[in-house]
């Protein structure tokens, strides 16, 4: 019992050491032990961050309700947390169920807009890089529908840029060029 108790008590410190030495899979296990017993914020942060680094999308989705609850009471990077959740959701959602990704993006959009709007676009990069032609068309329709909601020209330019990349992936180079021109007009930088 003493050896087991000591292991549980020191699992967060071990997780910190493993995390700092880039042994993220082992760090995740240590943090998971500590978090399951004590449920403290620091082990949750370590568990979530190590899960992100090893691309454990299932763990990211399972932790998201706890992380979401805790992030408003601490100094978590909201944009990153929400963005990583959407990326995980994309990778774990079948092509037939991709509308779940767009529904969650809609639901989380106001929080992302308040904190760090650029993180709203990060998951779309993954969707565009890995999605089917039909999913890419959904990305384009979704972003076109959001254009009027984006409050700044820079955000609108980011949407046009994402649509340009999606059109390029589909093979519609003329439309991709048109989207990039619109993006450049809105944000010439």
- Express each pLDDT in 123-180 by its tens digit: 899 899 988 899 999 999 999 998 888 888 888 999 999 999 999 999 999 999 999 9
- The per-residue pLDDT of the chain, averaged, comes to 84
Segment 30-61, tens digit of pLDDT: 999 989 888 888 888 889 989 999 989 999 88
pTM exceeds 0.85 for this model: no
> Which long-range contacts (C-beta less than 8 Å, at least 24 apart) are formed by 176-183?
182/157, 183/157, 183/158
Contacts of 15 (CB under 8 A, 6+ apart): 27, 28, 29, 30, 31, 34, 43, 46, 47, 50
User: For position 170, what pLDDT does the model report?
Assistant: 96
Q: Alpha-carbon distance 188 to 72, whole Å?
A: 35
Quick one: pLDDT at residue 72?
Answer: 60
Higher pLDDT, 85 or 189: 85
Among 99-108, 113-122, 150-159, 176-185, the range with the most confident prediction by mean pLDDT is 176-185
Sign for the CA dihedral angle at 111, 113, 118, 121 comes to positive
pLDDT of residue 4: 44
- Supply the pLDDT for residue 23: 92
| Residue the block writes with tokens 């890995």 | 130
C-beta separation of 128 from 139 below 8 A: yes
Q: What is the pLDDT of residue 73?
A: 62
User: Between 96 and 174, where is the model more confident?
Assistant: 174
Nearest to 142 by CA among 73, 90, 92, 94: 90
């Amino acid at each position: 019992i003493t050896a087991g108790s000591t292991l549980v008590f020191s699992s967060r410190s071990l997780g910190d050491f493993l995390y700092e030495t880039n042994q993220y899979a082992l760090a995740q296990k240590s943090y998971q032990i500590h978090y399951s017993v004590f449920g403290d914020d620091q082990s949750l942060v370590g568990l979530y961050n190590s899960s992100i680094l090893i691309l454990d999308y299932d763990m990211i989705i399972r932790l998201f309700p706890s992380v979401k609850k805790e992030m408003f009471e601490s100094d978590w990077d909201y944009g990153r947390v929400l963005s990583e959740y959407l990326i995980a959701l994309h990778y774990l959602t079948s092509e037939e169920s991709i509308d779940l990704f767009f529904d969650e993006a809609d639901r989380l959009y106001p929080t992302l807009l308040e904190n760090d709007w650029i993180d709203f676009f990060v998951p779309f990069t993954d969707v565009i890089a890995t999605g089917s032609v039909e999913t890419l068309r959904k990305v384009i329709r979704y972003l076109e529908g959001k254009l009027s909601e984006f409050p700044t020209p820079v955000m609108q330019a980011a949407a046009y840029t994402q649509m340009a990349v999606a059109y390029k992936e589909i093979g519609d180079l003329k439309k991709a060029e048109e989207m990039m021109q619109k993006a450049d007009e809105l944000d010439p930088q």
